[in-house]
Structure 1
Amino acid sequence: MNRPKEEQNRLSTVLAASSARNDHWRQLHAAAASWALADSDEKGRARRTECARLMADVLRIEHCWAYPGRRLLGAMTDALEHQEPATFTRLVQRVSGALLSGDFRRDEQIWEAAAEVEGRALDVLPPDLGGPMARRPYFEVLVVTPSAPAEWTRSRDEIVRMRRVDDAFQYEVVHVGSFEDAALAAMVNGDLQAVVLIDGFGYASPHALPDLKEFLSRFFTPEEDSVKPGALSTRLADALHKLRPELDLYMLTDRSPELLAGSDEAAPLRRVFHHIEEPMELHLAILDGIKDRYETPYFDNLKKYAQRPIGTFHALPIARGKSVFPSNWIRDMGQFYGTNILFAESSATTGGLDSLLEPTGTIKRAQEAVARAFGAKRAYLGTNGTSTSNKIVVQAVCKPGDIVIVDRNCHKSHHYGFVLSGAQPYYVEAFPLTEYSMYGAVPLRTIKQALLNCMAEGTLDRVKVIDMTNCTFDGHMYNPRRVMEECLAIKPDLIFLWDEAWFGFARFSPLHRRRTAMGAADALSRRYRSAAYRKEYEAWAAAQKPIDPKDPGAVDAKRLPDPDKVRIRVYQTNSTHKSMSAFRQGSMMLVWDDDFHHVEGPFEEAFFAHTSTSPNLQLIASLDLARRQMELEGYSLTMRMTDLAVRLRHAINGHPLISKYFRVASPEEMIPAEFRSSGIKDYGEPHASWVEIVRSWDEDEFALDPTRLTLICGAAGFDGTQFKGLLAERFDIQINKTSRNSVLVQTNINNTHSDAALLIKALADLSREIEERLAQDGPRARDALAARAKSLMTDVPDLPNFSCFHEAFRENSKAASNEGHMRPAFFMAYDESNCEFVRLASEEIDKRLKDGPEMVSANFVIPYPPGFPIMVPGQVITEDTITFMRKLDVKEIHGYHAAQGLKLIKPSVLAGRKATSDQ
């Protein structure tokens, strides 16, 4: 999307400043090359003026990175001022190329600008890294200091002299002199891994950035006037920790460091130093902090194991590759997979490999690192996907008779978990997006009404869990903090299970983190422990009456949890393999439970019940590595993928041809206005500033994850399944999820600008083909396309809601709450004599819908798409469900075989049956 130059150069319009920075350097390179080729003085002057303008754009925030640094930038400025286009172009080309390739992290020569320019030697020296850069991971350290900029080069050189040949990592230093510049650097520089705060710096940036405050206000609260003298360093530490909790923070102060180190203000700090002592200790501490995050206990040991000469007398012939490499028939297996994957296979738990079922060594340490990285109290690794992780958590926290308020459209693993545990689901409905044949998320009002219904029926004590999917397949993000606070005000010991299968990456993005389960658990835990909240609660409670669940206004009343009763009990499952660099089926279970000591035994049993005694070692290692990557570069990766998604959205919707047939659905289209109080319509300029977007994510009931793009293809005459196949067969573009008239384009940390270009090219090619066909075939073709588009975009079936459980599976069939005993209905179907089949097209269905007897599903029926169960065991089948099924044109429907028909429980089996609480 082309925007005016002045808008492009506004910092506040940018999401990921590192991407904009690379764009500016490439533009400067093109301009410099044009200047060098100018064949007249007039052209040369004009092109030099353009280079000067672009150089000024580059220099606005270049102080936030170590490379290219003050000396190299000075050399460029010198060449520009002395009108030396060849030198200027050479230097710009070197920097632009190094930033694009990342070579500055690996090659000392990239840092050099040594050259003779009209007899003047440029004083730019390579850093003394004590060995080839390529051997050691590179990072940058932010030093926030009150010293004058003239002293920063000397300070950096002193740090360079402390480097040692045997250092495991290498780093360069970025100096800034103010709170605002430190905040800016932390927001834009993904290479930062540590921050050194030297007490005494000021608040305001000396740089001329007119929209700096607007940019910072996305994640930092302006507080120049509110910070007490001497507290700026600790306030910055707290702010940086909230923005990027993975950063190691160090404080250098001469104000009684031993007292500061023991205070609550020092909680975000890794270590406090007296600022005039032990510079080598600081250097070593920085390296040690990186080592803690870089260490992958299980993967490191697995590599060592693969290098040892081991004789295997256990039940795994493939181990060490001895059954593969000598084989005449499967030797190609070894050639394809290589030696390491076979040498790193074992069924043993000795030699440091540890047991996933009873971890005491490297797996235990890996799980502790996962908990730290993802902001949880505990973490468990799963090797059977989040389908199994969900069943483990449900079975661990639920027992027969417990009520679970659950989104009917959640993943089928939750429903099967209720069957296994004997918990009774109380199904609540998400808001429908009928035009796209998909559901959104469950409104908070609906969840609260379910709690109040149970209170009115006297069953609130049995409500154990609120179970929701966050974010949904299509990108609908809950406001977990708000949901939990308002539900805990009704029942303070509720457990929340947030299925964040598609959302594991969100912890590492400050934009998304506010919408995560663990982020909300941390925020609420701190809130309820604070003296300010207790004061707020006491003032509120003094004017309140007890809840009357039959009062129509009770559901809309905003109440506060009692700090003496509330418990933070949150479980999050994430499919690590879906959004991070883990092998397929790699999953994590994250726990923040104040009462986990009551659950630890059942959790262990559930883990034993569902976890293989022969887990895949490579899966475990990949989970270990995924954590390492996200903790060290997750911030830059998640910001980049979000920026790419926004660019894709703008490129598609702003393209004059593509947008005639394809478009990406906006937040305005995907979230009804009643749940979007901010009024946000779409992401980025000109729709809304990023400050407004961040504020909307804090306040709105639902927000749309920008990395999940619902690409509408119905106007082009394609249904979702057809379009998915076309993209794969013709353009080698793989898509996962579809709906009746859309496909889901999901950006993640592996996507590149080339991937985005491939999709745009495919859409442009298809749009041109449609145009050519319409022009060639005339009115007949236009009428055919219009009819096809109408059938896909307008004549869509209404989405059925959950009806109710049959009275045979309800203890009180007249209750407003709709929980039911699904487990006995599920197992009834195991006896064929209990079941009957009725074909979907038969007249019998219509007759029974009208005259009875009721049709009751014997199993789960799940069409793909949309992928949610439209029937569950024990559910009464109603006319809207039958109508929906008859209009479905999808080929894959789990639990339904057209030749047999719907599988039902016979009315004679249900007659006279009564549900009891012990089922």
Structure 2
Amino acid sequence: MTTAQSSTEQQRIDHFFSMPAARADRWRDLTGIAGDWARGEADSSGVVQALDALGSIENFHAFPGRRLMASLRESLHMGVPSAFAELARRISRSIITRQYKHSAADWESDDLTVQLDESTVDTPIQGGGERPYFEMLLVTPEASMRSNRLIDEMRRLRRTEDDFIYEAVQVSSFEDAICAIIINPSIAAVTLYEGFGQTSVYETPLLRSFLDAIGFGAQHVARDDRPLALADALKRIRPELDIYLLADRQVEKLAGDDRSSAIRRVLYSVEELLELHLTVLEGVAGRYRTPFFDNLKKYARRPISTFHALPLARGKSILRSDWIRDMGEFYGLNLLLAESSATTGGLDSLLEPTGTIKEAQEMAARAFGADRVFFVTNGTSTSNKMVHQALVAPGDIVILDRNCHKSHHYGLVLAGGQPLYVEAFPMVEYSMYGAVPLASIKKALLDLKEESRLDRLKIVDLTNCTFDGHIYNTRRVMEECLAIKPDLIFLWDEAWFGFARFSPFLRARTAMGAAGEIENWMKTPEAITQYERQQQELRPSPRREDLLAMRLIPDPRQIRLRVYQTNSTHKSMSALRQGSMVLVKDVDFPSVETQFREAVFTHASTSPNQQLIASLDIARRQMELEGYGLVANAIEIALDIRREVNGHPLISKYFRVLGADQMVPPEYRSSGFTDFLDPGMTWVDQVRSMHEDEFCLDPTRMTLVCGLAGFDGTEFKALLANTYDIQLNKTSRNSVLLQSNINNTRSDVAHLIRVLLEISKDIEERLARNGGPSREAFGNRVKSLMTDVPDLPNFSRFHEVFRRDAGDLTPEGDMRMAFYGGYDRAATEYVPLFSEECDRRLKEGPEMVSANFVIPYPPGFPIMVPGQVITAETIDFMRKLDVKEIHGYERTKGLKLLQPDVIAAKARA
């Protein structure tokens, strides 16, 4: 790439994925080059090029603002390198440390020679202190002096008693407004002024392609409709934003327009600046408020005597102790003062919330796009069991991914539901499964329909995204299933994906995001037209193969939209461990509310931890106010890791992060998307993949192959933790899973890359030092990990005694009967895994039937469930496993089985 081409790429404002870190890096580059200029080691040409490289993105941030940027350019124009270098250093430091959000001095220039028009002078923050800072986007007509006066007037409206402080960022077009809210995560509110333009003055071909695709291109939006259309587009991208419309005509008509639902308030611009200022602060305050946490802080400050069963409440038993005082010193006084088993005084009851917890849950529902939210303090395992118990009755059929978390399997045992297992596509080379193809799910529904048993199907239960990052096309799955059974319930386990709500690139693939889109689609006239057109194509009688092959459209008049989503809030947001939420968008929830609450009573603790509840409240606040920027940073960090690992000449010999094309087979990527870092791919391609493809990959999930370095996953995980202080969770036979989240920084990336380089150098030196025998042994080890991998076992079948009310076409079974049958010691036996008896039973019988779940970690899915007939495929897989942790299997005893005579007796009964 030439220098000119590189400069052009740097100035492009629609390369959104790499924008935040790129901005900081460009300021650091400018600072370094300016220092060289000031020391006489370089001329000003490099400074000019570095300043140009900052490009137009600075116009979408309040800091450094017009005054400081003008001072920089004036110093450059006047040839004062020392002044330029010092100001560039100050600005760069303030951006990196975010000090400008609190320090008025950072907004001031020491260069008194710069004379600016009064209307363009940035008034620095007054009395910022530690008040939370945000920015408001102001969209005004181009070159409007009124907009400059408006910004200055709003600065003068600041008061020391304001809870927050904000700066305005002004743009003049529809396209620039879109760019601003994507580039600048500090924007928390938007004010639209009538008369702004459509197109940007900058080069934005990618953005225009995207806007055209979603119906907001220049040819689609009439001038008079532009404010409402922009409000709609902004809400689609960042639904948490407060949007206001300043108009100087027909404000009453605008406020009553059905299309104005995205706008929080319409104001008459001539007379309402103070009202706008107060409304903006009120809007942010509404998201900032944490009802339960606020009251918990007040409770902790009160002098309370406790006569309930919680000795550590108020901390006296700890702080006055001679032996455990260090606990109080370690955890801090507030933790103890905020503990109570009371549900009065603003603390509320988690089981029967009527006050602050109820308010907090309602605010979480708004933030996550749900109708209702329930807080859970003992993890998403419990959240899943609650949903199953509330919605599934004994004998109901549930379509279930066999590789889902064990809580779903145990939930069905408790509820008496019969799992109809569907298989995910295998990734044998890496000893893992992907996700379940939609064709398999549709086949299960059509099989049940053919046997007239569709009425027994209650739920489709899937994991989104999977541990390894496979994301379903949630809207398509739900629509096609609803086309077959309009009242079907969906449970999406999004334990690892809750953060996705706050990314415009991932939101549509969440359960609540997709449910919201379906809900909106159902209300449009086009919905019925699309359905009836497809019905015409399918007449006179649809063939099964056609139904499996085509994208089915449900009848919007028949749909009963019933969607449940479980989030491990603690796994991707700032909640304490075990903090979880159940998100509900169920049109028929009133009919199941009583039983849902019974499920809550069954599984929730009567002594929930106050700190866990408060952390769920706080996590919601953070994600509404800064989640967009935090998630964007997590994605950017993941892309950095992918780039540095796969692009490093030495590290890439022994390690690699698998691309989307290696994780998702091509038949499930109809868009043609290959990988995030492929030279020909852009963020528009990623958006298209998210919209069209059956499966796509969560960019924050990175499967790092370590088998090329001679490590199995468990071994490499231990090496990273014990030697290098790098922690991770999931492993496979030849890989480990890296996850970036809102907690990670670029320092974490640097540490990881340094460690991988050190390990790679050590391998190189060891192989060079020990010569041929060592290389041969290393090659054999790599071959055993990367080539000689065991086949992944599919679910075989339930034994016929557990399928008495099942059909011929579907594999569901009464797992609950088998599970509790295993409680009778006299009815069970053990057969050693590595034994002649095991081999004989596989060949000659009688069939071996599992009495319990067997779950190896890794890969973490049940390879045996109660009532399942054990096959040679499963035994072969278990014998090749080299993991130490296998739940449900005792090495000293062997496989726990239901005795053949017990099975025979059940068959005769």
Please give the TM-score of this superposition, normalised by the length of structure 1: 0.96
Greater shift in the superposed pair: 572-581 or 667-676: 667-676
2:522 to 521, 528, 543: 528
Residues of 2 paired with 1:420 and 1:102: CA distance?
Answer: 51
DSSP 3-state at the match of 1:870: coil
**1:71 Cα shift?**
1.0
2:757 to 744, 764, 776: 764
Contact 1:12 1:215 in 2 (8 A): no
Q: Measured at CA, do residues 697 and 632 of structure 1 come closer, stay the same or move farther in structure 2, by a change above 3 Å?
A: same
**1:255 Cα shift?**
3.4
Matched, 1:505 2:505: no
2:70 to 54, 61, 74: 74
Residues of 2 paired with 1:600 and 1:813: CA distance?
Answer: 30
Residues of 2 paired with 1:588 and 1:547: CA distance?
Answer: 44
Q: Which amino acid aligns with 1:76?
A: L
Matched, 1:358 2:352: yes
1:643 matched residue in structure 2:
636
**1:189 Cα shift?**
0.5
Matched, 1:753 2:749: no
Residues of 2 paired with 1:213 and 1:411: CA distance?
Answer: 39
1:417 matched residue in structure 2:
411
Residues of 1 paired with 2:12 and 2:661: CA distance?
Answer: 25
2:162 matched residue in structure 1:
167
Q: Which amino acid aligns with 1:824?
A: M
**1:130 Cα shift?**
4.7
Residues of 2 paired with 1:547 and 1:84: CA distance?
Answer: 82
2:443 matched residue in structure 1:
449
1:235 matched residue in structure 2:
229
1:22 matched residue in structure 2:
24
**1:72 Cα shift?**
0.9
1:557 matched residue in structure 2:
550
1:771-795 deviation per Cα after TM superposition (whole angstroms, max 9, x unaligned): 1111111111111110000000000
1:31 matched residue in structure 2:
33
Q: Which amino acid aligns with 2:379?
A: G
2:487 matched residue in structure 1:
493
2:876 to 883, 896, 899: 883
DSSP 3-state at the match of 2:652: helix
Residues of 1 paired with 2:541 and 2:551: CA distance?
Answer: 11
Residues of 1 paired with 2:329 and 2:540: CA distance?
Answer: 71
Matched, 1:729 2:722: yes
DSSP 3-state at the match of 1:674: helix
1:3-53 deviation per Cα after TM superposition (whole angstroms, max 9, x unaligned): 9734444444441422211111111111111111115xxx42xxx111111
Please give the TM-score of this superposition, normalised by the length of structure 2: 0.97
Residues of 1 paired with 2:296 and 2:82: CA distance?
Answer: 52
1:438-497 deviation per Cα after TM superposition (whole angstroms, max 9, x unaligned): 000000000000111111222111111000000000000000001011111010110000
2:6 matched residue in structure 1:
5
Greater shift in the superposed pair: 438-447 or 528-537: 528-537
Matched, 1:141 2:141: no
**1:63 Cα shift?**
0.9
Structure 1 segment 842-857 matched on structure 2, within 5 A: 842-857=835-850
**1:218 Cα shift?**
9.8
Residues of 1 paired with 2:806 and 2:584: CA distance?
Answer: 36
**1:254 Cα shift?**
2.9
**1:129 Cα shift?**
4.4
**1:546 Cα shift?**
7.2
DSSP 3-state at the match of 1:194: strand
Q: Which amino acid aligns with 2:6?
A: K
Matched, 1:673 2:669: no
Q: Which amino acid aligns with 2:896?
A: K
Q: Measured at CA, do residues 415 and 546 of structure 1 come closer, stay the same or move farther in structure 2, by a change above 3 Å?
A: farther
Contact 2:61 2:184 in 1 (8 A): yes
Structure 1 segment 63-212 matched on structure 2, within 5 A: 63-117=59-113, 127=123, 129-131=125-127, 133-146=128-141, 148-205=143-200, 207-209=201-203, 211=205
Residues of 1 paired with 2:16 and 2:146: CA distance?
Answer: 32
Matched, 1:798 2:798: no
Contact 1:75 1:122 in 2 (8 A): no
Residues of 2 paired with 1:95 and 1:811: CA distance?
Answer: 74
2:614 matched residue in structure 1:
621
**1:333 Cα shift?**
0.6
Residues of 2 paired with 1:212 and 1:495: CA distance?
Answer: 38
Contact 2:707 2:782 in 1 (8 A): yes
DSSP 3-state at the match of 2:605: coil
Q: Measured at CA, do residues 904 and 55 of structure 1 come closer, stay the same or move farther in structure 2, by a change above 3 Å?
A: same
Q: Measured at CA, do residues 662 and 484 of structure 1 come closer, stay the same or move farther in structure 2, by a change above 3 Å?
A: same
2:565 to 545, 550, 572: 572
1:293-338 deviation per Cα after TM superposition (whole angstroms, max 9, x unaligned): 0000000000000000000000000000010001000011111111
Structure 1 segment 394-473 matched on structure 2, within 5 A: 394-473=388-467
Contact 2:376 2:604 in 1 (8 A): yes
Structure 1 segment 246-265 matched on structure 2, within 5 A: 246-265=240-259
Matched, 1:278 2:272: yes
DSSP 3-state at the match of 2:743: coil
Residues of 2 paired with 1:753 and 1:262: CA distance?
Answer: 48
Q: Measured at CA, do residues 813 and 291 of structure 1 come closer, stay the same or move farther in structure 2, by a change above 3 Å?
A: closer
Greater shift in the superposed pair: 787-796 or 50-59: 50-59
1:269 matched residue in structure 2:
263
2:508 to 492, 511, 514: 514
Residues of 1 paired with 2:215 and 2:255: CA distance?
Answer: 25
Residues of 2 paired with 1:286 and 1:122: CA distance?
Answer: 28
2:802 matched residue in structure 1:
809
1:373 matched residue in structure 2:
367
Contact 2:448 2:454 in 1 (8 A): yes
Contact 1:810 1:915 in 2 (8 A): no
Residues of 2 paired with 1:53 and 1:723: CA distance?
Answer: 44
**1:857 Cα shift?**
0.3
DSSP 3-state at the match of 1:511: coil
Q: Which amino acid aligns with 2:39?
A: L
Residues of 2 paired with 1:672 and 1:121: CA distance?
Answer: 59
Contact 1:248 1:289 in 2 (8 A): yes
Q: Measured at CA, do residues 215 and 56 of structure 1 come closer, stay the same or move farther in structure 2, by a change above 3 Å?
A: farther
Q: Measured at CA, do residues 230 and 9 of structure 1 come closer, stay the same or move farther in structure 2, by a change above 3 Å?
A: closer
1:683-702 deviation per Cα after TM superposition (whole angstroms, max 9, x unaligned): 13414111111101110100
**1:760 Cα shift?**
0.3
2:821 matched residue in structure 1:
828
Alignment gaps of 5+ in structure 2: none
Q: Which amino acid aligns with 1:272?
A: V
1:252-277 deviation per Cα after TM superposition (whole angstroms, max 9, x unaligned): 12332222212221101111112212
Structure 1 segment 323-338 matched on structure 2, within 5 A: 323-338=317-332
DSSP 3-state at the match of 2:602: helix
Q: Which amino acid aligns with 1:872?
A: V
**1:678 Cα shift?**
2.0
Residues of 2 paired with 1:399 and 1:606: CA distance?
Answer: 12
Residues of 2 paired with 1:518 and 1:345: CA distance?
Answer: 33
Q: Which amino acid aligns with 1:33?
A: G
Q: Measured at CA, do residues 216 and 555 of structure 1 come closer, stay the same or move farther in structure 2, by a change above 3 Å?
A: closer
Structure 1 segment 774-789 matched on structure 2, within 5 A: 774-789=767-782
Q: Measured at CA, do residues 215 and 616 of structure 1 come closer, stay the same or move farther in structure 2, by a change above 3 Å?
A: farther
Contact 2:71 2:111 in 1 (8 A): no
Q: Measured at CA, do residues 216 and 486 of structure 1 come closer, stay the same or move farther in structure 2, by a change above 3 Å?
A: closer
Residues of 1 paired with 2:535 and 2:444: CA distance?
Answer: 23
Greater shift in the superposed pair: 746-755 or 158-167: 158-167
Residues of 2 paired with 1:915 and 1:63: CA distance?
Answer: 80
Residues of 2 paired with 1:847 and 1:613: CA distance?
Answer: 51
